[in-house]
Structure 1
Amino acid sequence: MRRFGEAIVRGQTYRKRPGAYAILERDGQILLTHQQAPVPEYQLPGGGIDPGEGALQALHREAFEETGWSIANPRRLGAYRRFVWMPEYEFWAEKICSIFVARPILQHSAPREMGHTAVWVTPEEALDLLANQGDRHFLARWLGH
């Protein structure tokens, strides 16, 4: 599985943290989430898969929490790994990021997750704004770049 981001720190113990994230396209625009903390950044909507939860269930839940939109027809594009410090949880993680493409179908509310803002941007803006190299890679591949 391809790895993006920081180098692995030898001797550091990493906790596996599987997650599901989505490229959400509608009418030629991409729906991103802007997360204020711990570091302000633009991300693909998604997040960790909770114990007892499947990737698709987590994807629907996380997309709704971070954007306020329900999604349909998720299709898996692939996965990658990142090794990162997660200050909000205070542990080092091996994030195993499954990337999907899905269609946002209905906005129910503003994002329910504190510190998140849903933002519609062009695909080119999304490539520039996404903080994570792995997310940018999958978006560029999906766009045919």
Structure 2
Amino acid sequence: MRLRFGRQEPGVDYRVRPCAFGVIEREGRIACVRVTRQAGPYYDLPGGAIDEGETEDQALAREFVEETGLTIAAGRRFAEADQLFRKSDGEPVENRCAFFTGAVAAENPAAKIEDDHALVWLTPLEAISGLRHEAHAWAVAVWLRLREA
């Protein structure tokens, strides 16, 4: 049984959306994105939906470039969990999240295409307390425990 985060609203159907997210460390901080939307800003781990025909690794690499301008090499898949939530357009989705480690291979800020996303480097504790999704915060805590084991 997979862990599931978020509160299921009675009578609401959630579209299942396979996703890949990464925990990439640099100098004791992890890459996050600060997303600025009309309802206010929030933090997410870089990553997102897996497009048809993509592998988890390919989706993770594509999403990192689109959101941060970082080219990454996916590492190991270390956790999985589901996150129920409503997207900014109101659509209810159940993200089937796969979480990966990885490393930065190159930086090209001009390659970033999502204007409402900004790369920020947070300490793991800042990320745990500030990430929008409980599944993301949980994954960072798992990553910390595995890193120190």
Flag whether TM exceeds 0.5 (same fold): yes
- How far apart in 2 are the matches of 1:124 and 1:105? 25
The root-mean-square deviation of aligned C-alpha atoms, in Å, is 1.7
Please give the secondary structure, in 2, of the residue aligned with 1:134. helix
**Count of matched residue pairs:** 143
Which structure's residues are more often helix, by fraction?
A: 2
User: Following superposition of structure 1 onto structure 2, how do residues 1-145 of structure 1 map, counting pairs within 5 Å?
Assistant: 1-6=2-7, 8-37=8-37, 39=39, 40-88=41-89, 90-110=90-110, 111-144=112-145
Q: Decide whether aligned partners of structure 1 residues 73 and 55 sit closer, same or farther in structure 2, where only a CA change above 3 A counts.
A: closer
Deviation beyond 3 Å, 4+ runs, structure 1: none
Please give the secondary structure, in 2, of the residue aligned with 1:118. strand
Contact 2:31 2:119 in 1 (8 A): yes
Please give the secondary structure, in 1, of the residue aligned with 2:132. coil
Output the TM-score relative to the length of structure 2.
Answer: 0.87
Output the TM-score relative to the length of structure 1.
Answer: 0.89
- The one-letter code sitting in structure 2 at the alignment partner of 1:129 is G
- The one-letter code sitting in structure 2 at the alignment partner of 1:136 is A
The structural deviation recorded for 1:105 is 2.5
- How far apart in 2 are the matches of 1:38 and 1:77? 33
Please give the secondary structure, in 1, of the residue aligned with 2:109. coil
**Sequence identity, in percent?**
36
Please give the secondary structure, in 1, of the residue aligned with 2:34. strand
